[in-house]
Amino acid sequence: MDEQREELYVQLIRSAARRLTGHKRRSFLAEVTQTLCGDMPRQSERLFGWGRATVALGIHERDSGLRCQESFGQRGRKRTEDKHPELVQHIRELVEPHAQADPKLKNTFAYTRLTAKALRTALINHKGYRSEDLPSERTLQQLLNRLGYRLRRIQKTKPLKKVPETDAIFANVRKVHEAVANDPETLEISVDTKAKVSFGEYSRDGKTRSDGAGETPAAWDHDPPAKKRRAVRNPELSHSNSNDSVRDQL
């Protein structure tokens, strides 16, 4: 029964130590070691599983009255941009020419077509890096995101389908149209601004509009006139017409 209770106390002390961090934890370890382990760090390590170096540091802080300052920021692996700031500068030089801001300026990301694989190749070919000295493609992709570049296609700025002046423009067009509708001296011209006209050596099947003397027919605009279709006789229609004529004679 005593052994079970002793094990229960040990578990409670370990649980309390896990809930503390930094100086408070070291102070608690030093207090427990002084009370239960005769102020011996090795015995507390064997009984509670604590690191004897941490316990010794807590005892030293208790006896000297000085507190050691923690440096949690120095722990763990550092980011690539912290270890290699020159790499970040080279990445910006390669990515900026291929980057474009958000068309609607809704965020601070710069969109780019340059993928992590292409960026890694460019660093090797243009900046003199060796393949073994560069991070992996996944690390470069995360680095691009942290630098503010999102890997997605560049979306061109979309024009507004309707501007605030659209209604006023069409109202003015209707007003002018009504004013000159019955004027015989006014010529109305309809222009389709979306119509495409072919120019160059491939237009009109490679033929020019001018003849051998360099004269251009007045009737031609951009392309030669359309060919006339031949009239096709419909036998059924002719048969019905002949029946109708016979019926009229009867």
φ, ψ of residue 150 to 5 degrees: the values are -100, 130
- Tokens describing residue 218: 């007045």
Q: Is the pLDDT of residue 94 over 80?
A: yes
- Tokens describing residue 19: 């809930």
Min mean pLDDT across 133-142, 160-169, 178-187 is at 160-169
Min mean pLDDT across 51-55, 73-77, 174-178 is at 73-77
Order across the sheet with 99-101: list the strands. 99-101, 110-112, 149-151
Residue with the bigger pLDDT between 197 and 129: it is 129
- pLDDT per residue as tens digits for the range 60-87: 999 998 888 877 767 777 888 888 889 9
Distance separating alpha carbons of residues 188 and 194, to the nearest angstrom: 19
The answer to pTM > 0.75 is no
How far are the Cα atoms of 3, 10, 39 from residue 13, in angstroms, in the given order? 15, 5, 16
What letters, b where the CB count within 10 A reaches 16 and e where it falls short, cover 176-191?
eeeeeeeeeeeeeeee
Distance separating alpha carbons of residues 151 and 116, to the nearest angstrom: 9
Distance separating alpha carbons of residues 67 and 27, to the nearest angstrom: 10
